[in-house]
Structure 1
Amino acid sequence: MDNIDRQLIGLLRDDARVSVASLAKQLKVARGTVQNRLSRMEADGTIVGYTVRVRPQVESQQIRAFMTVAVEGNRTEQVLRALRGHPNVVALHTTNGRWDLVAELRTDNLEEFDRVLRQIGLLDGIANTETSLLLSTQKL
């Protein structure tokens, strides 16, 4: 990956729907160059997909939280597999320090949130969790 590829990815992070012509103009390269680079990065797995970011206010009815997780022994992969399959876990991060994992959770209401916390707390391999509700987002 060279500097043009990195710039191209940066532009797509800002707006994944931007046209190839616009990308070419911003990068000062030919449209074919942009299309070829995109095709190559998609084929080799550098770019694995495109997504939509939604303002938090649009999903204001959702309960959002970060759950930090301490894993028992060497069971991190087992816990990751279980959390990856959970419909209320929208992101997972490994970390160092006191906690082994950070999971972002989303539910539609507090009753469902309570149920999700109990479900996750009972998973094999989880030693301890701590959860913080996200009250507001200051910057996107």
Structure 2
Amino acid sequence: MDELDQKILAALAADSSTSTSRLARRFKVARSTVQARIERMERTGVIAGYTVKLGQALTLRRIRATVLLQVEPRTTPGILQRLKPMPEIETVHTTTGRVDLILSVTAETTQELDGVLDRIGTITGVRSSESMIHLATKFDRAV
């Protein structure tokens, strides 16, 4: 990746809906150059996909929590299989240390969050869980 690739990537990371024409004008290159570079980055896996970032109007109304799970040895694949269909679970990370999995969970209400936590707790192989409700985001580098 050269400097132009990095600029295109940064611009798309900030706003994936930016047109190739607009990127070409911004970086003073031909539109076909931008298009070819984007296609190459998609083909090589540098760009894995495009997504929508939810605005504050929606995200401020949602309750977010981090859930730490300790699991029985060799039960992680089965647990992941049970977690995957739950739309409230946005991400699952394996980790080192006293916990085995870190989950990012969102819900519309505390009752919905409580229900998700109950379902997680009943999964065979989950030894223990600890949940931390997010209160306020002070800054977010991903946005």
Question: 1:56, 1:137 within 8 Å by CA — same for their partners in 2?
Answer: no
Residue identity over aligned pairs, in percent, reads 36
Question: Please, what TM-score do these two structures have when normalized by structure 1?
Answer: 0.85
Q: Which residue of 2 aligns with 1:47?
A: 47
Taking a change above 3 Å as real, the CA distance of residues 96 and 123 of structure 1, as seen in their structure-2 partners, is same
Cα shift at 1:66: 0.6
Cα shift at 1:130: 0.7
Secondary structure of 1:123 counterpart: coil
Structure 1 stretch 116-125 or stretch 54-63: which is displaced more?
54-63
Q: Which runs of 5+ in 1 are unaligned?
A: none
> What do the CA deviations read for 1:8-46 (whole angstroms, capped 9, x no partner)?
222111111112123224444321111012223334443
1:24 corresponds to 2:24: yes
Taking a change above 3 Å as real, the CA distance of residues 38 and 60 of structure 1, as seen in their structure-2 partners, is same
Taking a change above 3 Å as real, the CA distance of residues 77 and 7 of structure 1, as seen in their structure-2 partners, is farther
RMSD: 2.0
The code of the aligned residue for 1:29 comes to V
Cα shift at 1:57: 4.6
Taking a change above 3 Å as real, the CA distance of residues 36 and 95 of structure 1, as seen in their structure-2 partners, is same
Poorly superposed stretches of 4+, deviation over 6 Å: none
Cα distance in 2, alignment partners of residues 107 and 65 from structure 1: 9
> What do the CA deviations read for 1:35-63 (whole angstroms, capped 9, x no partner)?
01222333444323211222345333322
Question: Please, what TM-score do these two structures have when normalized by structure 2?
Answer: 0.83
Cα distance in 1, alignment partners of residues 29 and 72 from structure 2: 52
The code of the aligned residue for 1:80 comes to L
Question: 1:72, 1:125 within 8 Å by CA — same for their partners in 2?
Answer: yes
Cα distance in 1, alignment partners of residues 121 and 56 from structure 2: 27
> What do the CA deviations read for 1:54-102 (whole angstroms, capped 9, x no partner)?
2345333322101011221122222222212212101222222211211
